Structure 1
Amino acid sequence: MNQLDQLKQSTIVVADTGNFKQLAAFAPRDATTNPSLILKAVQQPDYAPLLAETVAAHRGEPLEAIVDQVLVRFGREILKVVPGRVSTEVDARLSFDTAATIARAHRLIALYEAQGVARERVLIKIAATWEGIQAARALEREGIHCNLTLLFAFCQAVACGEAGVRLISPFVGRIYDWYRKSAGAGWDEAANAGENDPGVKSVSQIYTYYKKFGIDTEVMGASFRNVGQIVALAGCDLLTISPELLAQLQASEAPVPRRLDAAAAQAAPIHAVSYNEAAFRYALNEDAMATEKLAEGIRAFAVDAAKLDAMIRVL
């Protein structure tokens, strides 16, 4: 049995791509997208006509409304292939505006529902800022489920759990990137691999905390740099994986034992914590890695959102 099939025995596998024509080969349950993945897809010959067709059908509408139509069109195509859910991201430029994030989420869900897609099959993806988490809290109360992304710090995960968020996406690879860069020439790859990988350790801590205290929020490890990080998190609720790494898993038959276990988490010697806004902001500020990677991630998604805007303007 290949590693991908083994992984599916303990973890829900999610495809991290806007390239929906690649999905069927890996049979994931869900799929995730983000502005960078959609931008990458529409620049390919296979998908450029879809962008042009969607823009033409909504010419004259406000730019942000056309962008949402493009995102939903990709989401609908993905949902023809996967049996579960698709994550569609709110514009990262709204990451510090709770009301605007809620309004954009309402529009995305309305577009999906108008096309016959039930809201249960959509996760609204929002950056895990304080403002984003509060937007998700309000949306979840309406039955609009959310995926809180760009999650690097334990305080972000705790606040998401307290807000009743459906799913979080802690970013394994970007945490690893920061620590590796910070260590410079002193980085020891072998000593920081597998369960000792700083990104893996972050997800393991969050998973253990959620299971210990009965928090229903699903943990979906994301942003992987290598198969070793994925294998080290076997047993996590979900893992969202790029097509390139899915193909590597499919090509190997090395063993994939369960590493994370909800029953084992019950015995963890940890205490419950809680964050109000001031405590959240201070805890995030104290975590240099999380502060830098959250800001960097928002900036990068905003840049790619602006590039998509520019492509649409000239069509």
Structure 2
Amino acid sequence: MLYTWVKTVVGLLLAANFSVPLLTVLCNRYLWEEPMAVVAGNMSFTSFLCGIFIMLIGIYDTFSFQSIPLCRFLQYSGFAVGIAFKMAQVCAAFDQFVAVMYPLRHYSIMIRTRPWLFAAIWCTYAVQIIIGLFAHFLDMETFSEHVGKSSDNSTFTGCRWETALSNVYAIFVEVEMVSFSAMTASLFLYVGVVGHQLKTRLLRHAQQLRRNSRGGGVDENKSFFDNYRAFKKIVAVLSLTVSLDVVAPILRISSRWYPQPTLNGLLHQVRLLGFIFEGWAYGLLNAKLRAAYRKILCGRFTRVVVAPVPGSCRKVDG
């Protein structure tokens, strides 16, 4: 019973948390022209939906509903938005790649690729739903049924992924999770290494210019240094959660031989709480998004047109 309440509360917290950045992007049309805001908005929307489905699953178990179609719908939908979030995370990593590697062309490149990023996120979601429909109507073998062949007693109770998802989809979704996490980590690692090398060369060049009394230097590369500082902050937050996205699937795969439903469930909820830091960390690095967040949190509903100044709830309205 305690675990069902944990799921319900975690889902409620996720939905409530991401309703703020989602509302911020939806209520400020000028943010729709900001590629970073579009990606952040999609991350918030997928996390918001994920929280809703987790909360509904918790309510389902709390009241002991007995509806296989409903349980499967909630589980497949929850996993669908979760995987869509992982694709949104890849899109965020791509945005940072462009920001650091092509700082002066960042906006123009992202404007052109924004529709493709949006399509990638929601096509990923659609694929999961389609697979879920096929699995349900074909009544494919679930993970718990597959494990139950070698055991008389089932260790899985309630509306769990083990009892709702087909065994084939359970493998597919783990591969997706690890693959998207690996893509995100690879982009971050590449940008981190190349960005550090470029930063070192630019600083060395700036020092040479100063010694030669020719001026210039760091200021000429301000866009790069600003983007690289923001990139390091994002990596500092995402590194832990991306690591969990690699470790958690390995533990779930091991459950095929050593079932640990409670441990896997609690680790899953910890990972979901990490969504809170991911979405906010990415959005807060954009000046317009920061100002819009402040406007919403401080109860101001006029359009924000300038970046905020230090201090909470100062006037930033146009």
TM-score between the two structures when normalised by the length of structure 1 = 0.23
More strand by share: 1
More helix by share: 2
Larger radius of gyration: 2
